[in-house]
Amino acid sequence: MSRKFNFCAGPAALPEAVLQRAQQEMLDWQGKGLSVMEMSHRSQEFVSIAEQAEADLRELMQIPANYKVLFMQGGASSQFAMLPMNLGGKGGTANYIYTGIWGKKAIAEGQRFLPTHLAASSEGNGLTAVPRQQDLLISQDACYLHYTSNETIGGLEFDYIPEASVPLVCDMSSDILSAPVDVSRFGVIYAGAQKNIGPAGLTLVIVREDLLDQAQEGLPTMFSYKTFAENSSMYNTPPTFAWYLSGLVFDWLKNDIGGLDKMAEINRRKASKLYSAIDSNDFYANPIQPQNRSIMNVPFTLADSSLDKLFLQEAEAAGFLNLAGHRSVGGMRASIYNAVPEEAVDALIEFMNAFAKNRG
Chain residues that interact with ligand PLP, rule: CB under 6 A: 10, 75-77, 102, 148, 152, 171, 173-174, 192, 195
- Peptide bond connecting 162 to the previous residue in cis, omega within 30 degrees of 0: no
Q: Which residues contact 262 (CB under 8 A, 6 or more apart)?
A: none
- Residue 297: CB minimum distance to ligand PLP, A: 8
- Asked if 148 and 127 count as a contact pair (C-beta separation under 8 A), the reply is no
Question: 77 vs 139, which CB is nearer to ligand PLP?
Answer: 77
Name the β-bridge partners of 12: none
Is 28 a known active-site residue? no
Active-site hit among 56, 175, 195, 243? 195
Is 141 a known active-site residue? no
Active-site hit among 29, 56, 68, 171? 171
Name the β-bridge partners of 185: none
- Residue 173: CB minimum distance to ligand PLP, A: 4
Return the closest-CA partner of residue 262 out of 271, 270, 253, 250: 253
- Tally of CB atoms within 10 A around 114: 22
d(CA 296, CA 253): 16
- Asked if 166 and 144 count as a contact pair (C-beta separation under 8 A), the reply is yes
Question: 57 vs 76, which CB is nearer to ligand PLP?
Answer: 76
- Residue 65: CB minimum distance to ligand PLP, A: 27
- Residue 197: CB minimum distance to ligand PLP, A: 11
d(CA 250, CA 190): 16
State the alpha helices, DSSP H only, in 215-333: 225-230, 240-251, 260-279, 308-317
- Residue 192: CB minimum distance to ligand PLP, A: 3
Question: 75 vs 247, which CB is nearer to ligand PLP?
Answer: 75
d(CA 253, CA 262): 9
Question: 198 vs 247, which CB is nearer to ligand PLP?
Answer: 198
d(CA 351, CA 318): 8
State the alpha helices, DSSP H only, in 153-259: 225-230, 240-251
Active-site hit among 29, 56, 68, 102? 102
d(CA 6, CA 321): 5
- Residue 100: CB minimum distance to ligand PLP, A: 8
Question: 166 vs 191, which CB is nearer to ligand PLP?
Answer: 191
Question: 72 vs 143, which CB is nearer to ligand PLP?
Answer: 72
Is 171 a known active-site residue? yes
Measured CA to CA in angstroms, residue 46 lies from 7, 247, 308 at distances of 32, 11, 47
* Catalytic residue annotation: 102, 171, 195
